[in-house]
Structure 1
Amino acid sequence: MNQSHRFQRKTLAILLAGLLVFVAGCGNEAAPASAPVESEAETSAIRVLTTTASRGDLSRGTEFVGRLEAAESVKVFPKNQGQIVHTYFSAGDVVQAGDLLFELDTEDLETNLELAYLQYQTAVIGAETSLMNAERTKENSARQYVTVKDNWEDLEEDYDDQRSALRDARDLAKNGLDKAQKEYDEKYEGASAEEKKTLEAALKKAKTEYEAAATAFTTFVNTYEKTEDTYKTNKKNAKTDLEYAERAYDLVSGGGDGETLGSAESAIRQAQLSYERAQKALEDAKVYAPISGVITTKNADDSDMVAMTNPVYVISSQDKAPVVSFNLSEDGANALSVGDGVTVVYNGKEYQATIIEMAAEADAATGLYAAKAQPVVPLESVRSGAVVKVKASTANAQDELIIPLDLIEYDENQPYVYVYRDGVAVRVDLVTGVSTADSIVIESGLTDEDQIITTWHPDLKDGAAVYAPSLEASASQPEEAPSGDSSEEQPQESSSSAGDEKGE
């Protein structure tokens, strides 16, 4: 919707609103006492019309200007740059569709194909090797982690047993020391010199045995703590190595979900694509006639170098059926290709046609891509130069939500609409898709049930109170067939004294 039209529409709506207010004021004195009185909420709310999005298909067509040519004339381009080995026809010869016109030298193409095949084989071997190495690394890391984990568990089990044994030995030595000390204290003063030596020796021995047992216990505990720290570190490192190996294996293999393409498979596919391209280039070294007809121009002979931008032959159809030549913009050239269908409009009639020729490069002067289309049914004219219209579908959407284009407002570059929700206008930002002159696909933002406000009002904004009489009446009244009226239900509507419906 252009700005001037919307401004005029809004200005007219405001003038109408003022006129209605004036008329209503003049007529209040004569209003009958039984006239219905709107509620305060209805009076303050904006009365609106609503609609819903439809679901269906949408195709965006682009129109090009074309001209009729008296006879079909097709330029035959080489699909690769190279040297012609042999041409099979001359100017004036009659050819049939599918006849071999010329061949390019294939020596370099065959070399490229062989190299591409070797690269493909190398990619396959490399991918298998990468996958095997990643799998081996993963398995080794898993085994290493299990070993370190088992060692840690064995250490804990041995620690409990050895600690108990050393503690018992220490306690036993302590008991022996206490016993020796007690005997020494009780007997030493009254003992003979020989007995004193025996008591001293027994006490010394008990102390030595206790100190040795206590030292062994303490040394074992301290050594275990250091060993425990080492085992913990080894276990942590082994777990980190295992997780890294698992991630590396997933990157190479694709994770095994069937959806993610691993680096191994990606390398194979890339090499396979290069091989297929080289194979296609070799096949394209032989160029065949796309149509039956007479060769009107031959631009190259044997041993000549040719480029993809220069036609080698020009073939004109014998049956005089006209073809349509037209020029494409870059977008049109990207959307269409040889073999695609288009519609030709001539003298008000539509004819289905197929693109049979499209230039690989744009014209240096115009920047457009030359193309030709062959009508399936001959046009009712053989006169050259007649201007026709060529219509092509450059974008399609199927089973999508579609709304009229003029319902959409824009906040800078963000499209949005207002929807009716429980008496409130709610702004909904949209993601749009394919559009035509009057419709647009909504990819996200709306549902099939959303009530889109179609009424324009100067005070309509996000959060504004709105009133849709038909929606609120249908919500408050029981559903029953209207008596005495078999006509279809009227669209959801309510007029606004200060607004107008979008798109009118």
Structure 2
Amino acid sequence: MNLKRMTSLALAAALILAAGGCSGASSGQAGGQGGARDSGLAGPGGDGSPAENQAISVNTTLPTVEDLSLTTDYIGTVKAAESVNIYPKSSGTVTAVYFEAGQQVDAGDLLFTVDSTDAELALERAKVTYDQTLRNIDVEESGSGNALTILNYESAIETARQSYERARDNLDLASDDDFDMSEFRKVRKRWKDATKAYDRAQTDETWSELLEAEDDYYELLDDYTDYQDYVTSFENAYTDYEEALEKYEIYKSQQVGENTGSYELQRQAAELTYQSALKAVEDTRVYAPIGGVVETKNITLHENASTQSSAYTISNKDVMSIEFNVSADGVSTLNIGDTVTVTKGSGSYEATVVEIDSKANSVGLFPVTANLVDDSPLLSGVSAKVTAATQSAEDALVIPVDTITYDADGSPYVLVYEDGKAVQIHVTLGITTRSYAQVTEGLTSDSLVITTWHPDLADGAAVSLKSGV
């Protein structure tokens, strides 16, 4: 290449560089802070030196108020919300089977039976023992076991009753005689008064009255004495009769008090034995506790059924649930009634948390159960992703995460536009997602947060808003 051609090429290159510099001075555009951004650099001046104190053109955004949540994904297992393993309560040979796996059953349906021969014999023996115990107690309580003692009491009562009736009749006869009790009382009073009058004044007149009153009194005294004997005999006979009755009642109450507890224990023991035998017979017939689908059947006709092995598993698939395990930190953010999202393939379904175990399982996680809200095609036993909100904030003030910068101390801050300058404001953050962050302190809904990135953009830098921003 000759020297003339080299000189021409150099001159062309210089012209191209000069043209590019002029174009940069006229654009003045800046990009966002988080990615490929407009530089916003000022071009060289007419003399070839950089322009000084030229404002950086920036974009801004206002914080928005939104509901923000932070979610965590888990793997869960779908199952019927209500599922029961059925164990026979009585071991023995299976004598009948009524349902197979896959069939629908209703609550109360008879599933299978176990040989009840021995149980029915035991029931008959318990019934005989129970009936005999009741008869023995009836005999004891009626007093037949103390017949001689009772006969003596009854004989004493009868003797006292007869004596009482005779004394009553004699008194009635005495009352019907000529003896007048009221007349006797008058004469006795006149005699006592005459005695007192004579004692006060011993005169012939008082002495005469005393003798006359005394004659009348002693004349009636014998009749009164006879009458009083009848009264006394009646009163004594009546007292003897009442005492005989009372002694008999005391004896009976003592007998009942001493033996009632023993009788009741005997009755209860016999009844418990009978009821236990009756239940043993009932336990040879096994019924469905819930309605649903027979998931598994583990018994066979004519083979032995064990109380230690599940015979049937029945699931009510009207409501399906999903069970997943959560860490201690995660379980503290979940509550009964929270909604989670269940995803399987391209399908997504909502579920409501209905149970949160308070005890960790063998791997240190806490089982959580959620019922699927709507009908879903998910089958028992399949695995699915469960998405749960582990943190949430309602009506949160949020900004894009790529507007946030961290200083040397790790404190977050943003640049906001204020009166033609970029102002650095430290902020306090709450929930942060991939796209947005909650600001709890530092900004208001009117803050103009700068979204443009520029190498010279810093606290106090002159800035201007782009047209239309």
- Quickly name the TM-score band, shorter chain normalised: 0.3 to 0.5
Relative to the length of structure 1, the TM-score reads 0.36
Larger radius of gyration between Structure 1 and Structure 2 = 2
